[in-house]
Amino acid sequence: MSYVMRASELVKKHIDVAKNYKTVYMWGCFGSPVTNGIITEKANQYPDWYTGGRVAYLRSLIGKVVYGFDCVNLTKGILWGWKGDKNAYHGGARYAGNAVPDVSADGMIAKCKDVSASGWDKLVPGEGLWMPGHWGLYIGGGLAVECTPIWDNGVQITCVGNIGVKGGYNSRVWKKHGKLPWVDYDTETVDKAVEDAKKTIKAKAGLADNTIKYLADYKYGDDLLKKLAAAMR
């Protein structure tokens, strides 16, 4: 089959949404700017979730260029072509575009390859993360991007608790992970740069493994390690 995008691009796009766009959790949305039209449409479609309080809050965001996503629709929206277009009804995404089907979080993990409930230390950036009814994407360095109504109520970067805790991030323990069939996993060697940096720091500075791990667990640990290693070479 032909791939929709490379894993490195998928990861970059998820991080971009988390860091550079205002977002809010909206059940059934895949990147629509928050407008009265989309709120009314989704409230009619999912009346149990769109309570009076939630609708009132969402209406307070109208005109503030905030984009609505839910968990699995973040990944689907990006694969469907979302580009942050504030003038497009779905932010530029085309429903079920690129031959990527509209499935739930549980349906998405069922579509994945190499699904496992173990091997968390060998996660590849761009793998999907799953727990019943919820979805996220592994971005490397022990971190994920997920859209959730808790914590920051929107798209956010969190810690994969199966790997370990990182200061400054909320943590979630997932049940399974797997590779999306529409993605070319060019990221299988992405974290090799971090491992090479650890080896350089250990050889040049003589730091103990536990000290290097302490540095790696810092919020920006991967970037820090790579910069330290580059300065030592």
Whether 89 and 14 map to the same domain: the answer is: yes
Whether 153 and 207 map to the same domain: the answer is: no
Instruction: Give the chain's domain count.
Output: 3
Whether 76 and 112 map to the same domain: the answer is: no
Q: Does the pLDDT value for residue 120 go beyond 80?
A: yes
Contact indicator for 225, 45 with CB cutoff of 8 Å: no
What residue has token string 């810690």? Answer: 159
Whether 75 and 118 map to the same domain: the answer is: no
CB-count exposure of residue 44 (10 Å: 0-12, 13-18, 19+): exposed
Instruction: Give residue-wise pLDDT tens across range 209-220.
Output: 888 877 877 656
Q: What is the mean pLDDT of residues 60-89?
A: 98
Give the pLDDT confidence score for residue 191 in this predicted structure: 61
Q: Which domain holds residue 113?
A: 105-187
Q: What is the mean pLDDT of residues 10-24?
A: 98
**108: number of Cβ within 10 Å:** 20
Sign of the Cα torsion 96, 100, 101, 107 reads: negative
Q: Does the pLDDT value for residue 31 go beyond 70?
A: yes
Whether 112 and 29 map to the same domain: the answer is: no
Give the pLDDT confidence score for residue 1 in this predicted structure: 62
Give the pLDDT confidence score for residue 95 in this predicted structure: 98
For residue 143, what are the contacts with CB-CB under 8 A and spacing of at least 6? 157, 158, 159, 160, 166, 169
For 133, list phi and psi in degrees, rounded to 5. Answer: 80, 5
Q: Does the pLDDT value for residue 135 go beyond 70?
A: yes
